Structure 1
């Protein structure tokens, strides 16, 4: 290469290498100061796309943990209220056993027992009506809540707490609203206790006829039903059943008979060829409502206090079943939270390996770039002085 002063190739080469070294040094400083290996897409385009996907999963999973914790709070609120419901039922049973001791109680004493019974029944209903979580009633027989416990949209990412099928935890819903320890009846359920009031509209027909519910082969007619069926101390209100758009007659029939069974007892209701039949203790399973009201079966003698014990035992069993269901759901939430926390940990580790700076490795690169920068600066100074040798030729 010739000796010239207009173009200093050595200086240009030194400058180019120094610029590259300076870029590396700046990149290392950025990574070391931010702690991130990828600060912009240009650092690692593919890695950035992967890490952003992992970040979405991590964020969604963390929120799912909080959602599951909300689910536990709902379950604990409902179960805590049912703890007191159980206590009330246990006290009522004790009072019923006391009232059954006919040989030592006067009618006034039984009346006093019934006064406490009535107050306890009122409190049962008040607890069922006022137990809420964030404005949603939990024990009125209508609660069904779905909790998002995953980062995605599949059915497996949701858990449903369904108290809709359990019935209300009120005195009426538990079948003890009519408990009266002061009476001595011919049976816990008498024919005179079977009443049917305003149970249908003209569009459906008259409930007192044997073919009253023939139109239940049509889904739309289920929503026209109204009124109350009372058998003994248990009642069912047709308006308490809520139907969902799109349900066919079979689905609505199952929902209706399930609700009647929950209110009046298992096996009380059935629908065949669009006709609803309701039966009770000592009645034939094929009795229509008209036939049911006309039956005159013979019952064994039983006191009101004895009846109360049986009814309260049923209520205690029902509340126990609901509490067991809630406990099982809470355990499921606990396991879900544990699984989600492990997922967050593993996803975070994966995202870190892609996006975070390996500080030790980056310090090696930084030290190299720092030394090269110093060397490049020194060599650029040397290269700049090379043309000065031309002056010797001009002397």
Structure 2
């Protein structure tokens, strides 16, 4: 090797290695201080792309878990209102059963009507006041009137990431309206009955309620007269009431003349439907549909029985709605558990890609630090290696 000063190859080589060591040292310091293995895309381009996708999933699942918790709160709020609604309906049913007893005088039945009216008003108030974040849950207005609320419980934009809560069956406002201003206590359909031509046999009755048609054909109706004929209208009405098929869907009362004698029957559909005026059998004629009365009534035993049936239908509807809400709440609970597990696993996967292994990186830092000090020392030595040229120049 020649003795030259223009190009100090030893110093250049040492400087190059020192520069590389300094870069490694700087990189280690950055990773140790940030805790991240990937601080720049250049650190791991493929790893960065994967980690960002995982980060999106983790962030989405975190929010989705909160959404599901909100869903639980919504259904719990709705069920709270339905629980009290059912208690009110049970009390109304008790009152209707009480009103079905003819031991009640007019004042007693009026007191029952007054309490039921107040309870119906409370149902209306519950439907208007049960809300979550300003969204009414029990008046049929939720979801723009559909009664359906969607909850994002996943991190993606597909159908599997949503749970829909159907509150259409939890319409307390509709229940209140039905009991207060519906046609649950119809006036019924009346016929005149000629017992002289009314022989034993089956009778057919039909009613229509909101498009739903109910048709009932009784068993063979028989009186105490010759060949099973009927001696009176009252006997015929009693035979109808005793028929299980008829009494399940209809109730019957009698009309009387000025002398108190029964001349005909009045048949009322227990579901509030309109009874067809077609004569159910020979000997029964002149069918006339009486005007419908407003709401459930307790002025007669027959109306009280109709009220019991109408209230039972609403109790069943509320029970079904509560069961559906309970099932959805259980579904939310499972969705939260699944989301939390997925979030934990994805966070672990992201950590393996992006987080610094502090122990391993500290080893690299120590190595780079020692090499940096050694390189600095060697660079000084290399710079001094050509100082011998001065001896030649002085010579």
Task: Report the equivalent of 2:392.
Answer: 393
Which residue in the other structure is 2:173 paired with?
170
Q: How does 1:1-395 map to 2 (within 5 A)?
A: 1-103=1-103, 105-141=104-140, 142=145, 143-164=147-168, 166=169, 168-170=171-173, 172=175, 175-177=178-180, 189-191=186-188, 260=210, 294-295=277-278, 303-394=302-393, 395=395
Q: Cα–Cα, structure 1 residues 340 and 56, in superposed 2: closer, same or farther, change >3 Å?
A: same
Q: Structure 2: which 5+ runs fail to align?
A: 191-206, 216-247, 251-273, 288-299
Higher strand share: 2
* Cα distance, 1:340–1:312 mapped onto 2, change above 3 Å: same
Structure label with greater radius of gyration? 2
Cα distance, 1:295 vs structure 2 = 4.1
* TM-superposed deviation, 1:137: 2.1
Is the CA contact (8 Å cut-off) linking 1:175 and 1:315 kept in structure 2? no
**SS of 2:149 mapped into structure 1:** strand
**Pairwise CA distance, 1:108:** 0.4
The two structures have a TM-score, normalised by structure 2, of 0.70
CA contact 1:188–1:302 (8 Å) conserved in 2: no
CA distance in 2, matches of 1:16, 1:189: 102
Q: CA deviation at 1:328?
A: 0.5
CA distance in 1, matches of 2:384, 2:189: 121
Q: CA distance change for structure 1 residues 10 and 171 in 2, over 3 Å: closer, same or farther?
A: closer
Give, in whole Å, the separation in 1 of the partners of 2:35 and 2:118: 66
Change (3 A) 1:393 1:167: closer
Figure out how many residues of one structure are paired with residues of the other and give that number. Answer: 301
Distance between the aligned counterparts of 2:277 and 2:305, measured in 1? 26
RMSD between superposed Cα atoms in Å = 3.0
Question: What is the SS of the residue equivalent to 1:388?
Answer: coil
Offset at residue 360 of structure 1 (A): 0.5
Per-residue CA shift, 1:101-157, capped at 9, x if unaligned?
322x22101111110011101111221233222232211233211111111111111
Contact kept, 8 Å, 1:122 with 1:171, in 2: the verdict is: no
Structure 1 residue runs of 5 or longer lacking an equivalent are 181-186, 194-230, 235-259, 270-279, 283-290
